[in-house]
Amino acid sequence: MKEQVLMSLGLSQNEAKVYVSLIEKGFSSATKIAEASGIHRVNVYDSIARLKERGLASEMIYEGKKGYQASPPAMLKNILMEKEIKLNKIIPELELNNTLNKNEQTVQIYEGYDYIRNMFLHFLELKEDIFAIDAPKFAIDKVGRFFQEVIHKRRAEQKQMMYHLYNRDAVERIRFLNTLPYTEAKCLNQENNNTATTFICGEEVAISIMHEREDLKPMSILIKNKQVADAYKMHFWIIWEKAIAP
């Protein structure tokens, strides 16, 4: 049992046997250790060398004879402390890896307004609040007014909130949206010609770069990551407090 416990601390079987022999016999020569432990004398020297490195044994001269003595058993606690120190060093890295593995994350790129339409249909399935930041005035015409009406109707039926932050030039659109149930819209009180719109729903963030020109296709970058989505939501509410509802 004693040897098994010592082995669980990282000692080899021979090291454990040699240490126990030294504890039980006291100061001993390599020959006596070999006889007591049943280990070949050559292997005894190897084990003693490793025990000395760990601070668990020492070499000494007693009455003119060379021999070895075990360090106090309390020294074994140093092994545990050393293991704990090493463990504490890697725990933060392990926790980070564990977090990243638990939070499934993907980044995908899409082109065209069809993706944006399908994205809204997917958001309806998530049934979580939808956030839109920096939507340009022409977005409604590009995505389709009829399609948007259907989306808003279905969203209201399932009591799903949507918050819009439009550019300043979309005053009429903002006023209309604020008449819809489960919908709130504002704009920043400053000029903003940004055409990169950010949509957030659940653990997903989609950044869509739209163009007013007919010959240019929109590009959307979809990020699926809870930490990223939560950060964008926090950012949204900061902007929302500074926005106005004309």
Domain total for the chain?
2
Question: Does 186 lie in the same domain as 123?
Answer: yes
> Is the distance from CB of 207 to CB of 195 less than 8 angstroms?
no
Question: Does 177 lie in the same domain as 231?
Answer: yes
* Domain endpoint, select from 55, 75, 95: 75
**Within-domain flag for 39:** yes
Question: Does 144 lie in the same domain as 39?
Answer: no
Q: What are phi and psi of 158, to 5 degrees?
A: -100, 15
**Within-domain flag for 81:** no
Question: Does 156 lie in the same domain as 34?
Answer: no
Written as one letter, the residue type at 97 is N
**Within-domain flag for 91:** no
**Domain membership of residue 120 as a residue range:** 106-242
Please, what's the largest Cα pairwise distance for the chain? 103
> Is the distance from CB of 223 to CB of 105 less than 8 angstroms?
yes
Give the pLDDT score at 191.
61
**Within-domain flag for 83:** no
Q: In sequence order, what DSSP letters do the residues of 7-60 get, joined into one string?
A: HHTT--HHHHHHHHHHHHH-SB-HHHHHHHHT--HHHHHHHHHHHHHTTSEEEE
Question: Does 222 lie in the same domain as 122?
Answer: yes
* Domain endpoint, select from 75, 94, 115: 75
Question: Does 136 lie in the same domain as 234?
Answer: yes
**Within-domain flag for 185:** yes
Sign for the CA dihedral angle at 61, 65, 70, 72 comes to negative
For residue 31, give the CATH number of its domain.
1.10.10.10
Question: Does 67 lie in the same domain as 117?
Answer: no
Question: Does 115 lie in the same domain as 68?
Answer: no
Q: How far apart are CA 24 and CA 131, in angstroms?
A: 73
User: What region does 134 belong to: left with phi over 0, alpha with psi -120 to 50, or beta?
Assistant: left
pLDDT in tens for each of the 246 residues of the chain?
Answer: 888 888 888 899 999 999 999 999 888 899 999 998 889 989 999 999 999 988 899 988 877 888 999 999 888 888 888 888 888 778 777 776 666 555 555 788 999 888 888 999 999 999 999 999 887 777 777 888 777 888 999 999 999 999 998 877 788 888 999 999 999 999 876 665 666 889 999 999 999 988 878 888 889 999 988 888 999 999 899 889 888 887
For residue 225, give the CATH number of its domain.
3.30.870.10
Total-model pTM: 0.56
**Within-domain flag for 191:** yes
**Within-domain flag for 89:** no
Residue 102: in which H helix or E strand, if any? helix 76-102
**Within-domain flag for 151:** yes
